[in-house]
């Protein structure tokens, strides 16, 4: 098992689903975890309880990461709790919000989706970098939608996630000489609240059935990939987007 004892990780959207599994997995191997949540109090509390019940160390911070003051408070809470260093940053925060075609979409909706899925990555990364040094790792969350344009009504979401891929590559070049690696994870159909809310059961069944592995992915499988990208086991990987979709999309 990878040992990252006494490292510090900041995880946005770390209270539930994929983010929650990442928080729990990192804490289980000795990482001090500071995770953000916004509108999932019950699940955020459950994640914290699970970590502590299993002997891990974690801090939960509520905040709306589309607001600079909440971003600053998240980073401050993390360094106040665990010292002025952050070894790993995992940018999970994002969401589809709603499915809207170009005809249905207005400028306000477009701007919010871009802010939620792309600008938050920029804001949190910029606030975190002063506390990250050589050996650090950043893992951003893109999506299969960035590759294939997304499903019906997901143009804004897919566009933002495509931006995350480009941001990841550019930042990898910028931070590589400092010894900091930057990668992206691009999930396909993973069994989460996201698809419970925005994807019809018959569509999920069809997608899972057409996947070479004949199933949806699991949040803990994505968490395992993130742990690998944070660890020294992936020390020569940077600027990459790792597709985790059961074979539904190849690059």
Active site residues: 157
∠ CA 139-144-146 to the nearest 5 degrees?
85
DSSP the chain: ----TT-EEEEET-SSHHHHHHHHHHHHTT-EEEEEESS-HHHHHHHHHHHHHTT-EEEEEE--TTSHHHHHHHHHHHHHHH-S---EEEE----------TTT--HHHHHHHHIIIIIHHHHHHHHHGGG--TT-EEEEE--THHHH--STT-HHHHHHHHHHHHHHHHHHHHHGGGT-EEEEEEE-SB-SHHHHHHS-HHHHHHHHHHSTTSS-B-HHHHHHHHHHHHSGGGTT--S-EEEESTTS---
5 alpha carbon, distance to own chain's centre: 21
Separation in Å, CA 83 to CA 71, 121, 154, 183, 196 = 17, 22, 40, 25, 38
d(CA 6, CA 162): 33
């Amino acid at each position: 098992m990878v040992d990252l004892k006494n490292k510090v990780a900041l995880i946005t959207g770390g209270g539930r689903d994929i983010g929650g599994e990442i928080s729990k997995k990192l804490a289980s191997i000795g990482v001090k975890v500071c995770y953000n949540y916004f509108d999932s109090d019950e699940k955020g509390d459950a994640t914290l309880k699970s970590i502590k019940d299993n002997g891990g160390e974690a801090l939960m911070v509520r905040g709306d990461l589309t607001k600079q003051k909440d971003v600053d408070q998240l980073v401050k809470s993390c360094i106040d709790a665990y010292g002025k260093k952050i070894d790993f940053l995992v940018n999970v925060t994002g969401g589809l919000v709603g499915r809207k075609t170009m005809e249905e979409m207005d400028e306000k909706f477009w701007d919010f989706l871009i802010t939620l899925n792309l600008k938050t990555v920029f804001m949190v990364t910029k606030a975190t970098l002063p506390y990250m040094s050589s050996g650090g790792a950043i893992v951003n969350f893109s999506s299969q939608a960035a590759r294939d344009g997304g499903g019906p009504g997901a143009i804004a979401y897919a566009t933002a996630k495509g931006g995350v891929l480009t941001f990841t590559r550019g930042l990898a070049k910028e931070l590589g000489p400092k010894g900091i690696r930057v990668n992206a994870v691009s999930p396909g159909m993973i069994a989460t609240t996201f698809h419970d809310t925005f994807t019809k059961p018959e569509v999920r069944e069809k997608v899972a059935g057409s996947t070479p592995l004949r199933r949806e992915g699991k949040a803990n499988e994505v968490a395992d990939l993130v742990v690998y990208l944070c660890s020294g086991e992936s020390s020569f990987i940077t600027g990459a987007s790792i597709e985790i979709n059961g074979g539904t999309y190849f690059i």
